[in-house]
Amino acid sequence: MLPTGSGKSLCYQYPSYVNQKRVLIISPLLSLMQDQVDQIKLRGEKRVVAINSFLHFNEKKLTMRNLESFRFIFLSPEMLSSTEVLNKLKEIGIGLLVIDEAHCISQWGPDFRPDYLKLGGFKRALGNPCTLALTATATEEIRTDIADKLNLSHWKEWVFSVNRPNITLEVKKMTDSYAKENSLIDEIKSNRAPGIVFFSSKKKAEEMQANAVIKGIRSAVYHGDIETDQRILIQQQFITGQLDWIFATNAFGMGINKENIRTVIHFHMPSSIENFLQEIGRAGRDGCPAHSILLYSEYDVAIPLQLAEFEKPEPIQIESFYRLISNGKRVDDIQQELMLTDTQLRVLVYYADHLQSGSWPTDVERILEARLQKKRSQVMDIKKYIDSNTCRRESLLSFFSENSFEKRDQCCDICGLKDMNEQKQPKGVSPMHWRDRLNHLLIGGARES
């Protein structure tokens, strides 16, 4: 567990050159995967590939035929269900299995990415290779859950502080959502770019970005419904400085590695402390001052709570699903008949495959109610952060059982803030530059030896 922006990829790149073994990396988001592949290629390594929906059919066939020629292979968890992929990986052999963003194993569960829960069985099928789980945000409970889901009996943990001291933390309370909308452009204009504004709603992200364009702000909107080619273009435009601001859902946050992001604004309240830290962690990766602003109005807490409620099927839907699938009805037909969302369907299909019990509907209802209570608790944790009258950094770190940190002048709005635009960039070489320099030296030296 290393803080965001500290170079976790070095933890699997360097061992590959030392041991001369192939590395398989399971990565959750296509944009994140592509970014990591591009970063490795920029360092001079050509034996790297990502097998995902970005590949055309013929490209995928050619890649699979020559898979043994690659040193680093990136896969989405869904690709592990392919017998062809699994058999080829067993044939060529894997020296190190890497689970990137490993907190997703515990946090996402069956309601978002159920394939993450299959990684333990996949690891077994590959012959239990040495496994490395990487994350920036995991409590002790989540770390234990990761080990359990990966079927680990003995493991070692390297746990570093989640603190990013160069990111200033601020919460701004508004009277209502209209006040937030009216103040957002002012916040963008008064804070340094490049920046990201996070939303829970795709519609609101589009609406606010359209308003920003009218005000002359170079920006784009990014969410899961945008075509793949367009998402890649937006990401590249932002990375190369053609765009100053991205209005995004959290699908963008985990997939961007731009070192000089100066400001992250949350228009909507995050659903958990972990998500909040992941998203603000996009900022200040060059080690220079950055700013996190969370805009909050009185009824914002209702949004993540309602989203959590909406994800849980009703008891009658659970019972009807079990009856219909037991009678051999097609899943797509059941979804239409019961008016299930995609999330609700994923949950029920997962438990239909993994839970064998005579009291199936009752057991699933009990499990899902427990998950709902957990999500409610996570929402209330971020609400405590917002309402806190003590140091915000201290509040965040205590969530991860960290009790001490070095106090700085620019900490949070509780401790007192100066104008962020007056903050001078530190002279000399940034910490992130040294991370990349070390990366070059280690990989280059290992290759020469």
pLDDT tens figures, 295-328: 999 889 998 999 889 889 999 999 999 999 999 9
CATH class of 10-160: alpha beta
Query: Which pLDDT does position 373 carry in this prediction?
Result: 93
Q: What percent of the chain shows pLDDT beyond 90?
A: 48
Query: Which pLDDT does position 244 carry in this prediction?
Result: 96
Tokens matching residue 2: 């290393």
What is d(CA 96, CA 199) in angstroms, rounded to the nearest whole number? 36
Domains 10-160 and 167-300 share a fold: yes
Residue with more model confidence, 267 or 44: 267
Tokens matching residue 112: 């978002």
**Using an 8 Å Cβ cutoff, are 255 and 222 in contact?**
no
Could you read off the pLDDT of 131-146 as tens digits, one per residue?
999 988 888 888 888 8
Q: How many helices (H) and strands (E) does the chain have?
A: 19, 11
What is d(CA 259, CA 2) in angstroms, rounded to the nearest whole number? 16
Name the pLDDT band for 445 (thresholds 50, 70, 90): very low
Is 426's pLDDT higher than 80? Answer: no
Please choose, from the candidates 136, 10, 16, the residue with its C-alpha nearest in 3D space to the C-alpha of residue 71. Answer: 16
**Using an 8 Å Cβ cutoff, are 382 and 276 in contact?**
yes
Q: Go through the chain and tell me how many residues it has.
A: 449
Name the pLDDT band for 446 (thresholds 50, 70, 90): very low
Please choose, from the candidates 27, 26, 22, the residue with its C-alpha nearest in 3D space to the C-alpha of residue 69. Answer: 22
What is d(CA 232, CA 222) in angstroms, rounded to the nearest whole number? 10
Q: What percent of the chain shows pLDDT beyond 70?
A: 90
pTM: predicted TM-score of the whole model, two decimal places: 0.84
Is 148's pLDDT higher than 50? Answer: yes
Query: Which pLDDT does position 290 carry in this prediction?
Result: 95
Query: Which pLDDT does position 289 carry in this prediction?
Result: 94
Query: Which pLDDT does position 406 carry in this prediction?
Result: 77
Q: Which superfamily, per CATH, for 167-300?
A: P-loop containing nucleotide triphosphate hydrolases (3.40.50.300)
Domain segments of the chain: what residues? 10-160, 167-300, 312-417
Overall average pLDDT of the 240-266 stretch: 84
